Amino acid sequence: MAYLRPGFFVRKVFNRAAMAAGAFGTVTLEVPGRRGGGDQRIPVIPVEVDGRRYVVSTRGESEWVRNVRQAGGLRLRGKRFAGSYAAREVPVDERGPIVAAYREEAGSTVTAYWKKLPDDADHPTFELEPR
């Protein structure tokens, strides 16, 4: 699987600012880490399609994706969709409409990621079910 590693500025400055301010429609995704025991926090833009909630990995096979797979769930903190969720990975052949809705919701914020990773298979997507 492909992965676009974020640079220092994104990891240490932008992500923290986006989570604190809720910039660009972001909320904070929290998931237990696979190693070290602490929670991982990352800004995400959740999307709702046909009454169901989803999160999409813009950067591909990231650490938070691996952590969600292992934990089977996550928490969202912010103005939208706050709460604890079970997470089910959406099969690649079902991602198309979700990814399209996500890209429309997120706008130009995510365009560069799809230029580098144009295939839906490169963007793990999780359906969220409130716990």
In contact, 102 and 47? CB cutoff 8 Å: yes
Q: Assign 21 to helix, strand or coil.
A: helix
Instruction: Output the pTM of the full model.
Output: 0.91
pLDDT, one tens digit per residue, over 91-122 is 999 999 999 999 999 999 899 999 999 999 99
How does DSSP classify residue 12? I
pLDDT, one tens digit per residue, over 49-70 is 999 999 999 999 999 999 999 9
Which letter, b or e, does each residue of 90-129 get, where b requires 16 or more Cβ atoms within 10 Å of its Cβ? beeeebeebbebbbebbeebbeebeeebeebebbbbbbbe
Predicted local distance difference test score (pLDDT) of residue 3: 85
User: Which CATH superfamily hosts domain 8-130?
Assistant: Electron Transport, Fmn-binding Protein; Chain A (2.30.110.10)
Q: Parse the chain into domains and list their residue ranges.
A: 8-130
| Mean of the per-residue pLDDT values of the chain | 90
Token output for 96: 């198309």
